């Protein structure tokens, strides 16, 4: 059994996958497996990957390439990779990102040393204007992190004990192809008895200079078809536990998800959707100024509508 399985979903990343693959194949951890899932990518991503792999003959036996019979999108592709993983721990890597050479060895050693179910790290967010370090300090167990709303949504910064995934059948919800990492993260944390945060450690390089599929997709469509059903299912999952301590967490996820409605000037829908989430605005992990502004906006929908129209007109006129 490999120590770590790294899962990479490949789709339309010809420009970036060589850098990603080299950073993976140059890991200091020897006992590792790489699972690349080709989601019927229309470009030359797989040719670039295979050419890069030829430079690392010692890694070739550790690489599994799965070709989807059809385009299954994020949820289906992640599920296939997770089910194929045989490692003691698993982690995801987005193919337009890259990692430091010691990332998986360092995180695995911490997992073994502390007997952790989940080990998290910080990330370096790369944009056209530079890069910034970002990190969330988790609580010592997953349920506490959920209740304190101290957790990140993504999967690429979390080394997860594979048994948690397999034993609890935690795979992305079928058909929900944006926020599919969030619904996995929440369920993993619910079952994680021990979570360890590696502070001041930023080995994952998150690339936002790449215009992703999300940036090209209508935000109203994203909300109605993906984020809304995702958060509803997560809320149902947590509420079915019978633990009322997750109520504020569910409301936080609802409030955070519906921000897309304001971007599309759907003021009425914003006010009416998950209206129960407004009651806890002051408890959410947002800056205080933002909390006060949003609490006020929730009580004054007409003024909010006028503000939104003005803002969108400025955006379109000045491209700000």
The answer to whether the predicted template modeling score (pTM) of the entire model surpasses 0.85 is: yes
User: Residue 268: its pLDDT value, please?
Assistant: 82
Between 207-216, 217-226, 233-242, the lowest mean confidence (pLDDT) is in 207-216
φ, ψ at 7 (rounded to 5°): -110, 125
Residue 209 is encoded by which pair of tokens?
Answer: 């200079």
Burial (CB count <10 Å: 0-12, 13-18, 19+), residue 118: buried
Q: What is the pLDDT of residue 23?
A: 98
- The domains of the chain are located at 4-213, 217-318
- Summarised one tens digit per residue, pLDDT across range 65-105 is 999 999 999 999 999 999 999 999 999 999 999 999 999 99
Which residue, 197, 195, 183, 200, is CA-closest to 75? 183
Neighbours of 280 (CB within 10 A): 18
Q: Would you state the pLDDT for residue 78?
A: 98
Pick the CATH number of 4-213 from 3.30.470.20, 3.10.129.10, 3.40.50.720, 3.90.550.10: 3.90.550.10
pLDDT score for 307: 56
Residue-wise pLDDT tens digits, 250-305:
999 999 999 888 877 788 888 889 999 999 999 999 888 878 877 877 777 666 66
Reading across the β-sheet that carries 4-10, which strands appear in turn? Answer: 63-67, 32-38, 4-10, 89-92, 158-161, 118-120, 195-197
């Amino acid at each position: 059994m490999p120590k770590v399985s790294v899962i990479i979903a490949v789709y339309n990343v010809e420009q970036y996958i060589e850098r990603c693959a080299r950073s993976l194949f140059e890991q200091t951890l020897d006992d590792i497996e790489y699972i690349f899932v080709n989601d019927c990518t229309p470009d030359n991503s797989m040719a670039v990957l295979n050419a890069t792999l030829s430079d690392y003959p010692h890694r070739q036996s550790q690489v599994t390439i799965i070709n989807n019979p059809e385009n299954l999108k994020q949820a289906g592709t992640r599920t296939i990779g997770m089910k194929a993983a045989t490692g003691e721990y698993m982690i995801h890597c987005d193919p337009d990102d890259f990692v430091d050479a010691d990332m998986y060895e360092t995180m695995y050693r911490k997992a073994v040393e502390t007997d952790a179910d989940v080990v998290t790290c910080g990330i370096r967010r790369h944009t056209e204007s530079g890069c910034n370090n970002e990190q969330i300090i988790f609580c010592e167990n997953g349920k506490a992190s959920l209740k304190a709303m101290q957790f990140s949504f993504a999967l690429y910064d979390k080394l997860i004990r594979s048994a948690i995934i397999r034993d609890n059948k935690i795979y992305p919800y079928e058909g929900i192809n944006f926020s599919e990492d969030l619904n996995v993260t929440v369920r993993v944390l619910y079952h994680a008895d021990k979570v360890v945060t590696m502070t001041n450690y930023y080995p994952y390089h998150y690339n936002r200079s790449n215009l992703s599929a999300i940036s090209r997709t209508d935000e109203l469509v994203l909300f109605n078809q993906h984020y809304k059903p995702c958060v509803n299912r997560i809320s149902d999952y947590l509420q079915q536990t019978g633990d009322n301590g997750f109520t504020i967490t569910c409301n936080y996820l609802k409030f955070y998800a519906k921000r897309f409605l304001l971007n599309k000037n759907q003021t009425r829908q914003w006010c009416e959707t998950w209206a129960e989430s407004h009651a806890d605005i002051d408890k959410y992990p947002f800056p205080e100024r933002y909390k006060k502004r949003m609490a006020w906006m929730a009580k004054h929908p007409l003024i909010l509508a006028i503000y939104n129209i003005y803002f969108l007109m400025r955006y379109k006129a000045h491209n700000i």
